[in-house]
Structure 1
Amino acid sequence: MQAQVKTSPAATRQQHYDDLVACSDSSANSVWLAQIIASWLVGDGALPDRLGLNESQFRQLLKQHFSGHELLEQAPSGTNLDFSRMLEKQDLEQLLRQFSSAEHAETEWLIAIIVAACLGSDHLWQDLGLWSRQELSAMLRHNFPQLAERNSKDMKWKKFLYKQLCEAEGLFVCRAPSCEVCQDYPQCFGPED
């Protein structure tokens, strides 16, 4: 039987985060994953059961990054994403995998979590449960440096990922010759509050 987290169900996101970090391996990804999980535990973000991972991946992630910290697998928010409406799931996975800085299980977990968050309706950092857009940018620079470098004009990340997919297919759906003269510029490049 799987134990619940050490803190009470009424624990705040910060309390969950502190508990996770206290038993983490202190890697950069552990800090970001602790933010994601802490938000997920209080129902923030758009991640489904097991953060979008399969059962084995979820348990491995906890064992590697948060040894001794047990979590329930069900999303406290009740979020259940419908991957059948995500025709681009494999394309997103392939895009992230192509630009990953390393090939190991941790990379696959991050890819699965990011792709699951792409089904949410808010900004990617919010759907992931990260605490700011800067945290998302840092996580992407750390794990997908060449992809992050391509976002040289600081486009909103979810829009940027989908734009990369379109460009890979030779699809250019923008109405303006450049972003700077487009009437939708604030929607792609504006602040993400």
Structure 2
Amino acid sequence: MLNAVRRDESLESVYAGLMASRRGEPVEENLARMLASWSVGLGVMPDWLGLGEMAFRRMMARHFPRADPDRVARLDRPLGFNRHDEREELNQLLLAGRTGASESEVWMAGIVTVGCLGNDHLWQDLGLWCRPDLSQLMLDNFAPLALRNDKNMKWKRFLYKQLCESEGIYVCRSPSCEVCVDFAKCFVQA
């Protein structure tokens, strides 16, 4: 219990520090949540959020110019996902559905892509604090794609369904859903 309390206090402290150092762009609130969660070991995000060190540092400098990137960086989770083709397809799907032409959307596409390779709900794998955070992140960064999710489908399932449909496959499951505790809510029809 004490470790959980310390983790929660640290999470809030990191989040507050990031929010105090942000530039004021809409993406920064959810990015601060992901970074705070990542810094205390929540979610599945790998080193540098899967972006690589240089891109991570550029992202931090752009969105949190007064924050120390080394304070939030967690470097004990190497990028262990070996599904290269899948990662590339997901990343291309997200980039094709970008809201505008911001470099932040490129970073977010990379982060969301890596998060999709986790085994839980996408918002949890990313270290967001609730599903509506992910919906807002998707609308802010990938509006043309996000607006196609008009049935409020779980985001990971929706993204993989988009990939399958682009290949002409209309019955498709995301790769890690079978181990999810909410499998029946997403896939079993009543």
> Who is 1:138 aligned against?
136
Please give the alpha-carbon distance, in whole angstroms, between the structure 2 residues aligned to 1:54 and 1:16.
21
Please give the alpha-carbon distance, in whole angstroms, between the structure 2 residues aligned to 1:151 and 1:189.
19
Contact 1:53–1:113 (8 Å) recurs in 2? yes
> Who is 2:185 aligned against?
186
Please give the alpha-carbon distance, in whole angstroms, between the structure 1 residues aligned to 2:151 and 2:68.
40
Instruction: Describe the shift of the 1:188–1:145 C-alpha distance in structure 2 as closer, same or farther (beyond 3 A).
Output: farther
Query: Please, which runs of 5 or more residues in structure 2 have no aligned partner?
Result: 1-5, 174-182
How far the C-alpha of 1:45 sits from its partner, in A, is 0.7
TM-score of the pair, normalised by structure 1: 0.82
Please give the alpha-carbon distance, in whole angstroms, between the structure 2 residues aligned to 1:113 and 1:27.
17
1:67-112 CA-to-partner distances (Å, cap 9, x unmatched) read 1211238526x33332323431111111101110112321111011
Alignment of 1:9-158 (within 5 A): 12-72=10-70, 75=74, 78-158=76-156
SS at match of 1:84: coil
1:150-188 CA-to-partner distances (Å, cap 9, x unmatched) read 11111110011000000000012269xxxxxxxx77225
Give, as a single letter, the amino acid of the residue that structure 2 aligns with 1:38. A
Which structure carries more helix by proportion? 2
Query: Please, which runs of 5 or more residues in structure 1 have no aligned partner?
Result: 1-7, 176-183
Give, as a single letter, the amino acid of the residue that structure 1 aligns with 2:66. G
The structure with more radius of gyration: 1
Identity %: 41
Count of aligned positions: 174
> Who is 1:181 aligned against?
none
Q: Within the alignment, does 1:164 sit opposite 2:128 as a pair?
A: no
Instruction: Describe the shift of the 1:30–1:74 C-alpha distance in structure 2 as closer, same or farther (beyond 3 A).
Output: closer
Contact 1:24–1:30 (8 Å) recurs in 2? yes
Please give the alpha-carbon distance, in whole angstroms, between the structure 2 residues aligned to 1:96 and 1:169.
16
Which ranges of 4 or more aligned residues in structure 1 deviate by more than 4 Å? 8-11
Give, as a single letter, the amino acid of the residue that structure 2 aligns with 1:187. C
Please give the alpha-carbon distance, in whole angstroms, between the structure 1 residues aligned to 2:188 and 2:32.
27
Please give the alpha-carbon distance, in whole angstroms, between the structure 2 residues aligned to 1:189 and 1:131.
26
Please give the alpha-carbon distance, in whole angstroms, between the structure 1 residues aligned to 2:60 and 2:188.
35
Instruction: Describe the shift of the 1:9–1:162 C-alpha distance in structure 2 as closer, same or farther (beyond 3 A).
Output: closer
